[in-house]
Chains A and B, each alone.
Chain A
Amino acid sequence: DAKTTQPPSMDCAEGRAANLPCNHSTISGNEYVYWYRQIHSQGPQYIIHGLKNNETNEMASLIITEDRKSSTLILPHATLRDTAVYYCIAPNNNAGNMLTFGGGTRLMVKP
Chain B
Amino acid sequence: GAGVSQSPSNKVTEKGKDVELRCDPISGHTALYWYRQSLGQGLEFLIYFQGNSAPDKSGLPSDRFSAERTGGSVSTLTIQRTQQEDSAVYLCASSKTSLGYEQYFGPGTRLTVT
Contact = CB atoms under 8 A, between A and B. Distances in A.
Contacts, number: 57
Most buried by A among B4, B43, B45: B43
B42 A101 contact: yes
A43 B31 contact: no
A91 B95 CA distance: 15
Nearest to B41: A101
Contacts of A44: 43, 91, 93, 103, 105
A99 B43 contact: yes
Q: How large is the interface on A (under 10, 10 to 19, 20 to 34, 35 or more residues)?
A: 10 to 19
Q: How large is the interface on B (under 10, 10 to 19, 20 to 34, 35 or more residues)?
A: 20 to 34
Interface in A94-111: 96-102
A43 B59 contact: no
Given A32-B101, A49-B102, A89-B101, A98 B59 contact: yes
